[in-house]
Amino acid sequence: MARSPLERNSVHLSGTGSQPIMFAHGFGCDQSMWRFVAPAYEDRFKVVLFDYVGCGHSDWDAYDPERYSTLEGYARDII
C-alpha cells in the first residue's frame, strides 16, 4: 500500500507562523540535524522538517533506484 508523502518522508510540522520554511538535510543526514536550528524559527514560521527517501525515518520501502539515481527524483518529492 502506498503511503502519503507526509508518511513517506516522515514530515514534521511545527511553529506558529503562516509562512512556511523548509529545512532540507544533506547527504548522509536526516532531519535531526536541524534540532537546534529549527526552534529559533518557530515563532515566525510554520517549520517543515522531513527526511529524504532512504534517510532517517522515511519509508525505506519507497526507495526506487531508478527514481533516485538523480537529484530530480528527490526534487520531485519536495514539489
14-26: pLDDT as tens digits = 999 999 999 999 9
Collapse the DSSP code of 47 into the 3-class scheme (helix H, G, I; strand E, B; otherwise coil) and give the result: strand
pLDDT band at 3 (very low <50, low <70, confident <90, very high): confident
Please state the pTM of the whole predicted model: 0.90
66-77: pLDDT as tens digits = 999 999 999 999
> What are the domain boundaries of the chain?
5-78
Which residues contact residue 37 at a Cβ distance below 8 angstroms, ignoring those fewer than 6 apart?
A: 23
What spatial distance separates the first Cα and last Cα of the chain, rounded to whole Å?
22
